[in-house]
Amino acid sequence: MAERKDLMKTKLPSVRGLYHPEFEKDSCGVGFIAHIKGEASHQIVADANQMLINMDHRGACGCEANTGDGA
């Protein structure tokens, strides 16, 4: 198993801008909402809230009895 993890680490992209492969990890889901020109807007907040609603965590809600991380 250690060999596989080492192999996977070698296939990560190189450091680029703010991205650093050292911080790679599995996640249930990630969302990012922003105005392309950096302007503040109530719509940004509303869109971010809707994104959170849409990203229900299967394990946390108990949707599948045989899966989940115990959250």
Active site residues: 28
Take residue 8 and report the two structure tokens written for it.
């996977």
Cα–Cα dist 51/32, whole Å: 9
Measured torsion, CA atoms of residues 6, 67, 63, 49, in degrees rounded to the nearest 10: -20
